[in-house]
Structure 1
Amino acid sequence: MQEVKRSDFVIKPFLKRNNFKAFYQIITTIIPVISIWLIVYQITIHPFTLLIKSCLLIPLIFLLTLFSSRTFSLMHDCGHNSLFTKRKLNRFVGFLLGLVNGIPQKSWSIDHAFHHRNNGNWEIYKGPVDVLSLEDYNSLSKREQIFYKVSRNWIMLFPGGFFYLVLKPRLGLIIIIFNITKDILEETFFKIKNKKFSELLSINSRIKPPFTDYGDNFSELSELIINNIVVIIGWIFMCKWFGLVFFLSFYSLVLTLSAAILICVFFVQHNYKNAYAKNTQNWDIVDGAILGSSNLNIPNWLNWFLADISFHSIHHLSERIPNYNLRACHKANIHLLTQAKFLKLSDFPNCFRYIIWDSKKEKLIPIN
């Protein structure tokens, strides 16, 4: 294998962030989203037949799905502090973009940063869908193995997408509130039982997050609460505007499809034949970036909606490169990416076979 060091790459010229480009990207994403929703409303109130309405709404579902994916991709950049020049501006805009897709940006970005720090080290980070090692898989019962295969099948992108954006942030908050309430009640009961009345006002409850990426500390919990309050208020408003059944079904479909696209892209960029999949002792962060991240040969229009995340090896080499500089940086360093993986859309289905990590051979293997 060609020996490539991080210092060989030309990175610094592409690190410069530009607020004008960043705001232009936000405007050219949010305005179309608002415009499409206004068009959807006009279609719903116009006395078209059901068939005509369906024919008009289907392409709008497609467009909103793509713009939702772009919104998420720009939120992802804000999480890396790479879209705008100022950290506070990235945080504020990232929070607002998180509202569009109903997801708390800070918690998500912290969890995503863990992925970047450990990409290619499959002993620590088990990939986007928590891949099992060969030993762990073989220890499962036949029924558990079947469940594992089904749960990692590409068809699960759709229920998985619905859970990821529609249910998970709401369920996360409910379980956290339940756990905190349970802790406080148990602690209070214990103090009353042991007649420690002077300590009744002193609560030592701890947050017990139901998921690794939501509510791990007070700051994340605060954003999760605010995100849910604003999102639910927004849903109530939209339900009154469009009607309960229509909005919830239409919006859920858009988010489900959008999340399915994002999860699919994230998956194929890390699970594929000959992906870099080392143990901790043999892992190298540069090799993890170049060999553990696939680059996608997809149409330019689709790349736009994904904010050029297709140039993934360079993104993993330096997540501080703004998306609007990724393509140029990729081209400037293409001669150093001869060992990197490049996938076409037709290669995507095969990637979903690589859901077992052979820790001894240090490679992802297809499931039988």
Structure 2
Amino acid sequence: MTINHQKGINWQKLIAPYAKPNVLRSIWQIVNTFVPFFLLWYAAYWSLSISYWLTLPLTAVAAGLLVRIFIIFHDCCHGSFFPSRKTNEVLGTITGIMTCCPFHQWRHNHSVHHATSGNLDRHGTGDIWTLTVDEYLALPRWKRLAYRLYRNPLIMFGLGPIYIFLIDYRFNRKGARRKERMNTYLTNVGIAAIAGMLCWAIGWKAFLLVQGPIFLISGWAGVWLFYVQHQFEGAYYEKDEKWSYVDAALKGSSFYKLPKVLQWFTGNIGFHHIHHLSPRVPNYYLNRAHEENQLFQSVKPIKLFSSLKSLKFRIWDEHRKKLMSFRYVKRYLEDRRNQRMQGNES
């Protein structure tokens, strides 16, 4: 059964059994994520006196746990981790401090992303900057260069996490309301207070040697996951009049089939097609929803190594309905010149 033959399905009824948080499951996820994270952080600090080659593997595992903490933060933003809105906000703010993400700001931008993902007329908030070929060619040269730099993997995955998590999220978005602004200030103060306290307790060098790789590795992983969730072969983008929420979820959000250990560290976010269909499903029910419904299994999975193909995608061609590389733009311009020349000759 393919996605194209599923127009009459009642999606809300199908997903409803999974869209209810289980308090005990949520508490257990906090325990099995936070406790090993703090233990590994301490172990990494302790190992500095032995060898940094022992410290680095410990920070790599801790970084994986920080990604899992971000998934808890992400669920809190959707109000899907606990039944209580207030509990989600409190835990979301705490995990937001740990992951350098202001809860209210990120929740707003991410909600817009869910409502507009794959919509060529409304994209641009909370997602990867993606232009069509025509949009790109209409830009002035300096902005084309900016887009090319933005889409360069070395910048997107190298400098990108540093800029996003350390700089961009420190400022309020334009038009933010008071509650959102205050939450951003609280997050900034919390980050500074924790960093300052640890620098005072163990020294700034030890703090950077431990927290530095944890931040960088988790940041790289986080940006990569967000990238591959919507930038893959067969992705979905449409103009507003043809755009469909269901198609944007099931065709425009990837099923990233990871090895079980990585699936655990990433909080099942690889089942992104289900998450976009209903963000109210807690991360710990996404796998079950997939396994119990043939309809979700009809989505073609992306594997770990095949996902690397996504690195070549830079721009959306509305005519071919495909993500293309920048080399295609060069061929596209050459074809247009040849067509003009043939037209002039005739």
Which TM-score band applies after superposition, normalised by the shorter structure?
Answer: 0.7 to 0.9
Give the match for residue 152 of structure 1.
151
What is the match of residue 107 of structure 2?
Answer: 109
List alignment gaps of at least 5 residues for structure 1.
173-208
Query: Normalized against structure 2, the TM-score is what?
Result: 0.86
- Shift of residue 355 of structure 1? 2.1
**Residue type of the alignment partner of 2:167:** L
For residues 347 and 6 of structure 1, the distance between their equivalents in structure 2, rounded to whole angstroms, comes to: 30
- The unaligned stretches of length 5 or more in structure 2 are 328-346
Distance in 2 between residues matched to 1:14 and 1:81, nearest whole Å: 14
The secondary structure found in structure 2 opposite 1:308 is coil
The correspondence for 2:236, drawn from 276, 281, 284, is 276
Q: Return the letter of the residue paired with 2:64.
A: L
Aligned sequence identity (%): 28
> What SS class does the counterpart of residue 215 from structure 2 fall into?
helix
Counterpart in the other structure of 2:5 = 2
Where does residue 32 of structure 1 map in the other structure? 36
Deviates more, 1:107-116 or 1:147-156: 147-156
1:87 maps to which of 85, 88, 93: 85
Matches within 5 A, 1:280-291: 280-291=240-251
CA RMSD in angstroms, aligned pairs only: 2.0
1:14 counterpart residue number = 18
State the partner residue of 1:98: 96
1:69 Cα deviation (Å)?
0.5
Code of the aligned partner of 2:326: I
- Secondary structure at 1:283 match in 2: coil
Q: Displacement of 1:5 after TM fit?
A: 4.1
Tell me which moved more, 13-22 or 127-136.
127-136
From the superposition, tell whether residues 5 and 251 of structure 1 become closer, same or farther in structure 2 (CA, over 3 Å).
farther
Query: Which structure's relative contact order is higher, taking Cα pairs within 8 Å and 6+ residues apart?
Result: 1
- Give the 4+ runs in structure 1 shifted more than 6 A: none
Q: Which deviates more from structure 2 when the two are superposed, residues 131-140 or residues 230-239? A: 131-140
Residues 52-79 of structure 1, C-alpha deviations (whole Å, 9 max, x = no match): x111101012111101111111100111
2:289 aligns to what?
329
Partner of 2:225: 265
2:40 and 2:59 in contact (8 A); partners too: no
* Farther-moved stretch of structure 1 (127-136 vs 295-304): 127-136
In structure 2, which of residues 304, 308, 318 is the aligned counterpart of residue 349 of structure 1? 308
Distance 1:60 1:336 in 2: 36
- Give the C-alpha shift of residue 32 in structure 1: 1.0
Residue pair 2:268, 2:283 contacting (<8 A) in 1 also:
yes
Instruction: Look up the SS of the partner of 2:241 in the other structure.
Output: helix
Counterpart residue type for residue 249 of structure 2: A
- Once residues 53 and 296 of structure 2 are traced to their aligned partners in structure 1, the CA distance between those partners, rounded to angstroms, is 47
**Alpha carbons 2:269, 2:283 under 8 Å: kept:** yes
**Gap change, CA 1:151 and 1:250, over 3 Å in 2:** farther
Contact residue 158 and residue 257 of structure 1 kept, 8 A: no
Paired residues, what number? Answer: 321
Does the CA contact (< 8 Å) of 1:161 and 1:257 recur in 2?
no
In 1, distance between residues paired with 2:145 and 2:115? 32
Q: Shift of residue 142 of structure 1?
A: 5.9
Give 1:141 deviation, angstroms: 5.7
Comparing 222-231 with 9-18, greater Cα deviation is found at 9-18
Quote the Cα distance in structure 1 between the aligned partners of 2:198 and 2:169.
Answer: 19
Q: Write out aligned runs for 1:101-250 (5 A).
A: 101-126=99-124, 128-140=127-139, 145-156=144-155, 157-170=157-170, 172=171, 209=172, 211=173, 216-250=176-210
Q: Which has the larger radius of gyration?
A: 1
Give the SS at the match of 2:295. helix
